[in-house]
Amino acid sequence: MPKRKIEFEFSAGLRWTHWIRAIAIFVLTVTGFYLAYVFVAPNASDEPVLFLNAKFRMWHEIAGFILIAVTLYKTYLFFVDRISKKERIAFLDFISPKIWIQQIKYYLFLGEHPKLRGVYNPLQFVAYIGLYAMVFAICITGLVLYVHVYHDGIGGMLYDYMRPLEVMMGGLAMVREIHHIAMWGILIFVPVHIYMAIFNSIMGKEGLIDSIISGYKFINEDH
């Protein structure tokens, strides 16, 4: 049996933001599809109670603001959190050609997993940069769309800041298009992310999936 040691991988803040973001993305996807294409409708009634579209929109906006809050907090953790230093150090692995070659060989079953300084391998680092680019895009475009519906409160406060961004993106129709494209980018990322997490957990035998729940993974000291 290989000798293993326990190592703390993800802080509570990282783990909570991961799962809250996952739930928010699920809610946003379901409600977003409904707002784009109504796939269910209530029974006809003479009473003024058929507000299903409004309810879907409400949950879409709630999940959207939760996603914005989580994204801002996660960005703060990346740059400031002491435990998140492992995420920042992953940049050194990202710029290493040797690590790139070893990582690709590992995924092709042609070699062992490279020794990483950070928590992410180069391909993961690229994938997460792409994910955050799409999340920021979907949050910004979502706020632009929001201020056109709600003119008081947060909507009124952000209106003057969102309008220049709307113009830069080519108008409201293009904002919607970017919003939808970012959503599809995230939906493509999610199954690939799940597959690769399972792949690395099985191949590495270090409890990588468990680490996003418990915070700990098991390092093989023989490697």
pLDDT for residue 59:
94
pTM of the model: 0.84
Contact, 62 vs 24, CB < 8 A?
no
Please give the full DSSP string across 25-90, using - where no structure is assigned. HHHHHHHHHHHHS----PPP-SSS---HHHHHHHHHHHHHHHHHHHHHHHHHHHHH-STTHHHHHH
Q: What is the C-alpha separation between 147 and 159, in angstroms, rounded?
A: 5
Q: What is the C-alpha separation between 97 and 8, in angstroms, rounded?
A: 27
Contact, 57 vs 79, CB < 8 A?
no
95: helix, strand or coil: coil
Range of the domain at 191: 4-220
- Please report where in the chains the tokens 């996603």 appear, as a residue: 67
How many domains does the structure of the chain reveal?
1
- Please report where in the chains the tokens 């050194």 appear, as a residue: 92
The pair of three-digit structure tokens given for residue 100, joined into one six-digit string: 């790139």
Contact, 60 vs 31, CB < 8 A?
yes
pLDDT for residue 144:
94
Residue 154 belongs to a domain with what CATH number?
A: 1.20.950.20
pLDDT for residue 54:
86
Contact, 112 vs 140, CB < 8 A?
no
| 168 phi, psi to nearest 5 deg | -60, -30
User: Long-range contacts: 194-197, Cβ < 8 Å, 24+?
Assistant: 196/124
Q: What is the C-alpha separation between 142 and 146, in angstroms, rounded?
A: 6
- pLDDT tens across the length of the chain (223 residues): 556 677 777 778 888 888 999 999 999 999 999 988 877 777 776 666 678 888 899 999 999 999 999 999 988 888 887 777 878 888 888 888 888 998 888 888 888 878 888 778 888 888 889 999 999 999 999 999 999 888 888 888 999 999 999 999 999 999 999 999 999 999 999 998 888 888 877 776 666 777 787 777 776 655 5
Q: What is the C-alpha separation between 17 and 153, in angstroms, rounded?
A: 26
Which has the closest alpha carbon to 83: 15, 34, 130, 151?
A: 15
